[in-house]
């Protein structure tokens, strides 16, 4: 499916959900979003889902892939950002002053090669950097909260804070994937940090492809 372009300014969604560019299907996140929208039909026209290779279609407007510029425009206009646990996706939210709702991919469900997203998302949640959802109930509760008061999902990170957080994020990824009995990931090392901070972490960035 070709990448979708951005809707007009008047039609830009207020809730943007993205599964990133990893080739593993993240059907669970799309399904949870569909379930939430079923109970909140008033948000159908205000939600957009970038669904990747998910095995279900979004109940709202959506596309498997989104052109980089179009995605950036939607993220800029969003009140709420929901994403998988990929570094570029999370940093894209940070760069726009958001605390994203994050659902980490799980290896046992065929969503990634290992559980590194689960590990470092827990650490980020402990430090208040993300809002973590690992169950349908938690996901529904967080989206209910965000829909009612999006300001509670904003952060006062400045550019320097985002850069520092991204740098720490890179250290954390390296620490987690270097543990014994964990399959090594093909990380780009220190090179990944500059694109994440400098380009506001476009979801089509190479870092997201490699780190998931």
Tens digit of each residue's pLDDT, the chain (212 residues)? 566 655 544 457 899 999 999 999 999 999 999 999 999 999 999 999 999 999 999 999 999 999 989 999 999 999 999 999 998 899 899 999 999 999 999 999 999 998 889 988 998 999 899 999 999 999 999 999 999 999 999 987 655 566 666 666 666 665 665 565 444 333 333 333 333 333 344 433 434 444 45
Counting the structural domains of the chain, the total is 1
pTM: 0.77
Query: Hey, is 195 helix, strand or coil?
Result: helix
Q: Is residue 200 part of a domain?
A: yes
Full domain range(s) for residue 63: 9-211
210 CB burial (10 A radius; 0-12, 13-18, 19+): middle
For residue 53, tell me if it sits in a domain.
Answer: yes
Hey, how many other C-beta atoms are within 10 angstroms of the C-beta on 38?
10
CA 2 to chain centre: 21
Total residue count of the chain as it appears in this document: 212
- With respect to residue 3, please indicate whether it lies within any of the assigned structural domains: no
| Domain at 137, CATH number | 3.40.50.2000
Does any domain span residue 38?
yes
- Residues sharing a CB contact under 8 Å with residue 13, sequence separation 6 or more, in sequence order: 7, 46, 47, 48, 60, 61, 74, 77, 78
Question: Does 33 map to a domain?
Answer: yes
Within a domain: residue 186? yes
Residue 1 lies in a domain: no
Query: In angstroms, rounded to a whole number, what is the distance separating the alpha carbons of residues 63 and 189?
Result: 31
């Amino acid at each position: 499916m070709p990448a979708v372009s951005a809707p007009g300014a008047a039609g830009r969604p207020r809730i943007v959900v993205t599964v990133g560019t990893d080739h593993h299907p993240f059907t669970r996140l799309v399904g949870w979003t569909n379930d939430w929208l079923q109970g909140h039909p008033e948000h159908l026209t205000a939600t957009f889902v970038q669904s990747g290779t998910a095995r279900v279609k979004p109940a709202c407007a959506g596309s498997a892939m989104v052109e980089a510029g179009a995605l950036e425009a939607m993220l800029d206009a969003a009140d709420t950002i929901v994403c998988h646990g990929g570094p570029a996706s999370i940093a894209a939210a940070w760069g726009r002053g958001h605390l994203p709702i994050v659902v980490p991919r799980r290896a046992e469900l065929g969503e990634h090669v290992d559980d590194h997203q689960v590990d470092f998302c827990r650490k980020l949640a402990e430090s208040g950097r993300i809002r973590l959802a690992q169950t349908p109930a938690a996901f529904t509760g967080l989206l209910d909260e965000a829909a009612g008061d999006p300001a509670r999902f904003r952060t006062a990170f400045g550019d320097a804070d985002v850069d520092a957080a991204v740098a720490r994020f890179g250290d954390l990824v390296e620490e987690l994937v270097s543990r014994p009995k964990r399959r090594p990931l093909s990380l780009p090392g220190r090179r990944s940090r500059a694109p994440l901070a400098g380009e506001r972490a476009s979801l089509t960035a190479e870092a997201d492809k490699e780190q998931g």
